[in-house]
Homo-oligomer: A and B are copies of this chain.
């Protein structure tokens, strides 16, 4: 069967969330760039893949998916093995904790960290727009409150869902990676368990491989 296709710029955060799952399971894949400069994400072909005209989109044979967290889970389910199950749905309690912290990433962590990444990394690089300091400052304060909760959680277990790495952790990689290239990276030093957790994630071969490409943007 042809390798799965991921549609979208590889350096995009939401695309990277899919790629890190593919790298973790060692699946073959192909990246098909979507050119925002020519509005390709709003083209009829792309709207068939993602009706909201966003990235990423994903194709595996006849199956088309969108929404990065849904795609990531599909990949981890499809390729799971006894020794490599990053989405342990067979264990009721573990599955619940993975879901809790995946939701926390989406609804608490991401809303705090992503504006900093947009203002300090994406807008300057893509649009030549300098950071809006008010947005950055407000988001840093918001992020501190989130990191306090993470510090407490990660003082009790090595990873967010427990003493096992999971999709909940991997899902934090793209925005945290870009955040670490901003002047605010040192914020993590005040949260030693969070810092140690990030260092463990950053040392994973999947993350190191993708980070090497993403660094070109930051």
Interface size on A, residues (CB 8 A): 30
Q: Which residues A66-84 have CB closer than 8 A to chain B?
A: 66-67, 69-71, 73-74, 77-78
A152 at the interface (CB under 8 A from B): yes
A106 at the interface (CB under 8 A from B): yes
What chain B residues lie within 8 Å of A99 (beta carbons)?
67, 69-70, 73-74
Instruction: Mark A84-118 against chain B: 1 for CB-CB distance below 8 A, else 0.
Output: 00000100110111011011101110000000000
A149 at the interface (CB under 8 A from B): yes
Q: Which residues A7-65 have CB closer than 8 A to chain B?
A: 51-52, 63, 65
What chain B residues lie within 8 Å of A149 (beta carbons)?
51-52
Q: Which residues A102-138 have CB closer than 8 A to chain B?
A: 102-104, 106-108
Quote the shortest CB–CB distance from A84 to chain B (angstroms).
17
A153 at the interface (CB under 8 A from B): yes
What chain B residues lie within 8 Å of A93 (beta carbons)?
63
A90 to B196, CA, bound (A): 35
A74 to B51, CA, bound (A): 29
Q: Write 23 A-B pairs (CB below 8 A) sorted by A numbering.
A: A51-B152, A51-B153, A52-B104, A52-B108, A52-B149, A65-B96, A65-B97, A65-B100, A66-B100, A67-B99, A67-B103, A67-B104, A69-B99, A70-B96, A70-B99, A70-B100, A70-B102, A70-B103, A73-B96, A74-B95, A74-B96, A77-B89, A106-B106
Name A residues whose Cβ lies closer than 8 Å to a Cβ of B.
51-52, 63, 65-67, 69-71, 73-74, 77-78, 89, 92-93, 95-97, 99-100, 102-104, 106-108, 149, 152-153
